Structures are given as C-alpha cells and as structure tokens.
A and B are shown apart, each in its own frame.
Chain A
C-alpha cells in the first residue's frame, strides 16, 4: 500500500514541532507586522525597521544553515563554499532588481548604472530576460543547481571526500569571487548591485514591501524546514546517513553514492540560492564579498554551534551567532573575529553536538535527577 504524500509530509514533524512552527509563523506574519505598523516609533511595543531587516536577514542565513545541515550534518560532506550558491541566487535576483530601477538611476539610462559607467551600449547576453520576474525566479534556482551539479558530479565521481572536498569548495568560491570582482564579468565589479528602487513595481523601502519580504522569508524558512525533515526521515535520508557512516557498505549493498550525494548537494545549493534571492532585496546590496571564503566558513560555524544533524539546531545557531555578531560589531567591532574563532574552538572541543546537544544533555540530567 502506498501512503499519499500529504500524510508523509505531515508525519515528518511531531505534534510539538508543528505547534512551534505555527507559533513562529503567527509571530512573523501577524504579530510583528501589527507591532510594526500600528504602534508609533516611540512606543515600547514598536518593532523597528532595523529589527525587521535584521531578523529577515538572519532568517535567510537560517535557511542557508538548514541547507548546510542537509549536506554536512546528514551527508557528512563539509562544504566551505556554500556562500557561492547564496551569492549566485542573490546576484540572479539582483539582476531583476537592477532592471526594476529603470531610468531612475544616476544616469537616467535604460541600462544599469555600472554598465553606463563602463560605456556599454547594450545588455550582455546573460542579462536577457532579467526584467522578467518569472525568468529570474527560475535563474535563482537553476544557476546554483547547474553549478552545483557540474562541480558535484566530477567531485563525487572522483570520490573526493573529507578535507579535500572542503578545500576545493573553498577554492571554488574564491575563484568565483575573483571573477565577480572584475568589471568585465558584467555584475557590477566590486560594487556589485545596490540602490534598488522597486520590486514587482512596489517601492522596496516601504514598510509594506519590507513586511511582505519578511513574511515570505519566514514562510520559506518554515517550508524548507518541513521539506528537510521529510527528506531526512525518508528512506533517502537513511541512505544518506548510511553513506556518511559506512560508504563502502552502502556500495556493496547496491546503492550508488554518487547520485545520492549529488541529489542532496544540488538541493542544498538551490536552497542557498533561494535564501540569497530573499536576502538581497531586504539588505539592499549584493557584492562579491558574499563569496569570500570567510563567509562560507561562518555558515559552517552556525551549523556547528547549533548542532549538526538536527535541522532545528542550525536555525538556532544562525540566530545566536548573528545576533551576537550584530551586537559585537556595534559594541566591540575589533573583537568580533576573535570571539567567532573562540566560539568555534569551544563548540568543537566541548559541544560536539552544539547547543541542541547541550540542551538534550541538560534535559537528560534533569530526568536522572528527578529519578
């Protein structure tokens, strides 16, 4: 007997998690918008634009963290180049936002400002169609997917594993960064894209647009979590963790690890691309520094801090680390990187299961004490 997909997806999370997810969505879609729009700025209940942008940004990071957990926590493959897929999604959507500026740029031209500055007369071929939301939405997923597929196919086929794989992914994102730094590449060089005005015709800085983007990000994060939970609970997920733990055994019972790794690798890249596309309109800028190796390493730190292979842990990790970052970079900007390094060392040495592992340990101790 085959179970319908809806029932399978419903059984991906337990009751408590569904309730938590419902509360999260209610907060993001109802409570925060109401607090933002209905209370004056000096009210204690007012949620500021700054807060909404910050949380929206962190939710995008959390989405990347879940994508990273799928490949690292469950697949056992540590990518130190996930920032690349995030940036590709961001750039793809940024192209659309650049086109939405229309003639309101500094030069009042049809072409984006940086092209006018470079004295280009027409759009490069890969910008064709970038004024169409539908086409760009497709690119947001397709570009990371194709890059991930091609790279992953050769890497996994050659059975490149462990630290070698991680180093190659670092090199990949670094090479892409250098490429995007060049003006001739056609993505605005080191300035990237910024000064966005509109999205789908609506002003990008208005409260309503911000709240819609915020809500969309929350919905995407929630949906990704459900999808990821379903994925890891399926037989596919069990094969994936089996590959992580004993790859030779999985081959000798007839699974080809290549296609399993490639599938989760591409899914992970696509999720990062979507996160990047949601990030750019909220933050208002995308430039090649998003591809810097340090950014990708930070993604791994979020996941490690929250707890690998738990799905919820990486979301917690992304929030904890990034909230700490935004506090540190205001209060003690020069110490942030030291703190980040320290955090990584402490987590690696003392909390191999991250915050979620710590929580579980504490709960278990409490249970023992009660007995």
Chain B
C-alpha cells in the first residue's frame, strides 16, 4: 500500500487548511499492515521552556487497549493534543498506521482518517438533543453542502437508535443534552465517539464522575470494543484500569517511565516513587 503515502509536500503552518479547500480530505487510507495503529517517536512539546512532552515514544498496536496513567502534569492531555492535531510537536514523528503523518493534518482531517477523542470534561452540544448530538457525530460526508441537504435515512436512524441503546440513553433521545447527569454526559460523548466509527479511540478520563456501576459497565464496553478498534485510555481510577486489563504505560514529566501489565507497573520502584515520593 505504498500509494498511501502522505501527499502533502511542504510544511504547513498550524491551522492551515490546504487540502480541504473545498472540504476534501485527501489523506490516504489507514494502513495497519504492520500491526501498528499509532506510532509516536521522540515527540517533544514545550510551552515557554517547560517541556510538556520530552522525547516521548509510544506504540499502540492495532486492536490494542492501552491505559495511560501518570501524575498530574505528566503530559497525558498534551499527548492527546498532539495526536489529534490540536498541538504541533516541536520535534518528533507521529504516525497513524504506516502512512498517515498526523503532524501535517488539521483536527477535522484527523477525525476523518479515523481518530476519535473524548475530552477530560464531557464536551457535548448542550443545546442540542441527545439524538442530535449523535446525529452530528455520525460518520458521513461533513462538508457544508452535504449538511445543507442532509436528511436522515432509515438505516442512519437505526444506527443512532442502536447507539442510544448501547449507551443506555434510549429513553432520553429527545432530551436536551445539557440536562443529562454527569455520568450520562460521559456516556453520550462515548456514544458520539462510536458514531464516528473511529479506528483509534482516545479517551481522557472517561469514567470521572461515574458511579461504580456505570464505571464497570464502561469497562465492559471498552473491552468489547478492543480488537476491532484500538483504544488509548487515560485514567486515574485503578480499579477501572485493572478491569480493562491490557498494557499500562506510565507517563512522568513528558516521557514514558514504565510499561507493562498493571501489577508489574504498580510494583515498579520508580513508579511508586513518582506517585508517593513527594
């Protein structure tokens, strides 16, 4: 699949819209032939001299469910900003699959190639209904003209209904999203992510503010998504991390401190120091 190399030849400044002049996303296909979904190499990001990320290296395999933990300020959110195009790294490489260079795409382009992101605080469209939130997120042609003429087809309605059931909001479809409880908002945002049909899901503290029951159900959902999707979950809730299984990466001061299954990581002397030492 060599024809999928990135077509952008020159460096483009942040926020430029070169390729999607008319909303076209010429970004090539996701190539998972080597089994790697996400590849970060030597990523450095500094803000006014402070290195939020410091030579960060991370590799996520296709279908993997990875948890990222780390104390506050370890660079977890900055890492997600880099992957989704919100922040450009000062140096380093960020690839999605074999061929898609994330450092050259805008946020909407990255969404189109198949990366979905859930924010730390639930970010939904509070003035819209639950149904409309899912409708807007649905994977489709998102150019202006298509939106002007869009009319939901039967199978699209079915898909929304299916997601509503999955996130247990089927009774709330016509409710204004801003009126949902915190946990329900989290679920709605996860539902919006699923409507996008992304290949890679980035989830920043998805169970914050959820009840224990909701937390466990979320874990089950994520485990069921792994395999078909790759998931990167940033979380502080260790019970949740344990329930997810999978590898755990510990970030500290912008780089990877340790990696392994939860038990190994928790017994790592350096990790203990970072979490308890100060």
Contacts and interface: CB of A to CB of B under 8 A. Distances in A.
Q: Which of B86, B123, B142, B144 has the most CB of A within 10 A?
A: B144
Interface string A152-195: 00000111000000000000000000000000000000000000
A329 interface: no
A253 B124 contact: no
Contacts of B196: 253-254
Contact of A252 (B23, B111, B128): B111
A223 B105 CA distance: 41
Contact of B15 (A159, A241, A254): A159
Interface stretch (A47-55, A201-209, A230-238, A356-364): A230-238
Contacts of A2: 151
A247 to B, nearest CB: 10
Interface string A251-272: 1111110111001000000000
Interface string A71-96: 00000000000000000000000000
A310 to B, nearest CB: 13
B147 A254 contact: no
A251 B132 contact: no
Interface string B152-184: 011000000000000000000000000000000
Contacts of B17: 157, 256, 258
B107 A251 contact: yes
Nearest to A309: B127
A8 B123 contact: no
Chain B CB count within 10 A is highest, among A1, A255, A263, for: A255
Nearest to A262: B144
Contact of A251 (B111, B116, B125): B111
Given A253-B137, A256-B108, A248 B123 contact: yes
Interface string B74-109: 000000000010100000000000000000001110
Nearest to A244: B127
Nearest to A251: B107
Given A249-B119, A256-B23, A259-B144, A1 B126 contact: no
B147 A236 contact: yes
A259 B123 contact: no
Interface residues of A, number: 30
A15 interface: no
B125 A236 contact: no
A226 to B, nearest CB: 15
Contact of B147 (A8, A239, A251): A239
A330 interface: no
* Interface residue SS majority, chain A: helix
B148 A235 contact: yes
Nearest to B125: A242
A3 interface: yes
B125 to A, nearest CB: 5
Given A245-B125, A246-B125, A1 B153 contact: yes
Nearest to A250: B136
A215 to B, nearest CB: 29
Contact of A259 (B23, B110, B117, B154): B23
Given A252-B84, A253-B111, A253-B136, A241 B147 contact: no
B20 interface: yes
Contacts of B150: 234-236
A318 B124 CA distance: 34
Contacts of A235: 135-136, 147-148, 150
B125 A8 contact: no
A2 B149 CA distance: 9
B144 A242 contact: no
A238 B135 contact: yes
Given A157-B17, A254-B111, A255-B142, A249 B148 contact: no
Given A254-B108, A255-B142, A259-B144, A158 B15 contact: yes
Interface string B111-146: 110001101000111111000100111000011100
A334 B192 CA distance: 56
Contact of B151 (A8, A157, A254): A8
A11 B136 CA distance: 20
Contacts of A258: 17
B126 A245 contact: yes
A157 B12 CA distance: 13
A130 B193 CA distance: 54
A64 B263 CA distance: 65
A121 B112 CA distance: 58
B136 A239 contact: yes
Interface of B: 15-17, 20, 23, 84, 86, 106-108, 110-112, 116-117, 119, 123-128, 132, 135-137, 142-144, 147-151, 153-154, 192, 196
17 contacts: A157-B15, A234-B148, A236-B147, A239-B136, A241-B125, A241-B127, A246-B124, A246-B126, A248-B123, A249-B123, A252-B84, A252-B116, A254-B108, A254-B111, A259-B23, A259-B144, A260-B144
Given A1-B151, A248-B119, A251-B108, 18 more contacts: A157-B17, A158-B15, A236-B144, A236-B147, A236-B148, A242-B125, A245-B125, A245-B128, A246-B123, A248-B123, A249-B119, A252-B116, A253-B116, A253-B137, A254-B112, A256-B106, A256-B142, A260-B144
Interface of A: 1-3, 8, 157-159, 231, 234-236, 238-239, 241-242, 245-246, 248-256, 258-260, 263
Which 5 A-B pairs rank lowest in CB-CB distance, beginning with the nearest?
A254-B111, A235-B150, A251-B107, A236-B147, A256-B108
